[in-house]
Amino acid sequence: MSTQAKSYNRTKLSCYFSYLSMATPFSLPPLLFVTFREMYGISYTLLGTLVLINFCTQLTIDLIFSFFSKHFNIHMTVKVMPVLTSLGLIIYALTPSLFPQYAYLGLVVGTIIFSVAAGLSEVLLSPVIAAIPSEHPDKDMSFLHSLYAWGVLIVIVISTVFLNIFGREKWMYLTIFLALFPLVASYLFATSPLPEMVLSHDAKSDNAQKKHLGLALCVACIFLGSCAENTMSSWISGFMENALHIPKTYGDIFGMALFAILLGLTRTWYAKHGRNIMNFLLWSMIGAALCYLVIGLSDNMILSFMGCVLTGCFTSMLWPGTLILMEEKLPNMGVAAYALMAAGGDFGASVAPQLMGIVVDKVSISSWAEKLSMTVSLTPEQIGMKTGMLVAAVFPLVGTVLLVGMKKYFEKK
């Protein structure tokens, strides 16, 4: 390892710890939704709106950095980012506790603040890692993204143990405790050197048009990959409970947890042994499509269960792998390109689970599902969920076709 690379070891650690702590704003709120409903009388519709606010805020940050990155002090923004995460979580915890009559307003304000930090993390941490001199930049990128999955598991374990011991009514202390971790990341960033980063590529260069087309292909790829990953991550619990009739506790433990473990293990494995990201992405898309097709078409509970869990393995690299591919094929694209990629991923994370819900609702109440349920051993709701999984298979199927085209395009380029 070169001396220059060694000088950035603490910077890498800062990015890794920041990405690990970023799991809290995503995974903690859904674990507390039932508590909020019972303690403050907040409807499920309003609680669902918090998820929408989260994604819309992140998407806004992504788009702002896509077009106006040159107007920001990137180094200062990176250092402030974890502080915003802590501030948002603290407001999220204290406002409902101190002012119960304004509980929902406090949750909204806290959500907006830590969602801004989450959006900044997606936009800035990847280019920081990419800018650090390294013998294996693709493996560093994969390891960075693997930490999110492990962070989700850590939050689930800590939250489950805490709430079972101290009770749901003490949720605010749990939130404040988890808000301390981003402050550690902030301290690490404040005492670490940050590499110089290109804000945007030269749009007037001879290769600008080819780079724009290549970037557009990568954005389309990360969108489809995000659709494939987030449809399952959002619906695996509901599918196992309502379509496979697995009790929720077991479905969450053996379904959601295994999905997250495979997500993290595959990213960690690629960080150590992975190579040829284009072929890896292609086979991942094919595997994800097969999983969705098995889930949607099979009437065997075990096969459907395995399909749900294995989707975590096949979709694990579709987001970080596309970032690796962009850096490999289109070097020095700058922070603006990473912001655009994050926007594509966040858009997929918003659109695909919503589409799944629409399909499930429409099919479940249709006369077609009612008639079909009389000939097969499935309820209309089960048919609706399986139809939704078949529709979700379209995303990795289109992604497979896209990657075949991208492979030819970049080989020719």
Domain boundaries, the chain: 1-191, 204-413
What string of DSSP letters covers 246-261?
--HHHHIIIIIHHHHH
Provide mean pLDDT across the span 239-263.
Answer: 81
pLDDT over threshold 60, residue 1: no
Provide mean pLDDT across the span 84-94.
Answer: 95
What string of DSSP letters covers 201-237?
--TTSTTHHHHHHHHHHHHHHHHHHHHHHHHHHHHHH
CA 263 to chain centre: 11
What string of DSSP letters covers 156-203?
HHHHHHHHHHH-GGGHHHHHHHHHHHHHHHHHHHHTS-------S--T
Predicted pLDDT at 199: 63
Assess if CATH 1.20.1250.20 describes domain 204-413.
yes
* Identical fold, 1-191 and 204-413: yes
**N-terminal to C-terminal alpha carbon distance within the chain:** 32
d(C-alpha 156, C-alpha 302), whole Å: 25
pLDDT-derived band at 196, boundaries 50, 70, 90: confident
Provide mean pLDDT across the span 161-177.
Answer: 90
Between 6 and 270, the higher pLDDT residue:
270
pLDDT over threshold 70, residue 6: no
User: 64-73, 152-161, 272-281 — which is least confidently predicted?
Assistant: 64-73
Predicted pLDDT at 50: 84
Q: What is the residue-averaged pLDDT of the chain?
A: 87
Predicted pLDDT at 398: 97
pLDDT-derived band at 4, boundaries 50, 70, 90: low
Does pTM top 0.95 for this prediction?
A: no
Encoded tokens for 378: 């499935």
Predicted pLDDT at 211: 76
The most confident of the ranges 110-119, 155-164, 392-401 is: 392-401
Between 6 and 223, the higher pLDDT residue:
223
Count helices and strands in the chain by DSSP H and E runs: 18, 0
Domain at 1-191, CATH homologous superfamily: MFS general substrate transporter like domains (1.20.1250.20)
- The CA R_g of the chain, rounded to the nearest whole Å, is 21
Phi, psi of 363 (to 5 degrees): -70, -40
Say if CB 268 and CB 140 are below 8 A apart: no
pLDDT-derived band at 233, boundaries 50, 70, 90: confident
d(C-alpha 378, C-alpha 376), whole Å: 6
pLDDT over threshold 60, residue 3: no
What string of DSSP letters covers 277-327?
HHHHHHHHHHHHHHHHHHHHH---HHHHHHHHHHHHHHHTTHHHHHHHHHH
Residue-wise pLDDT for 363-374, tens only, equals 988 889 888 888
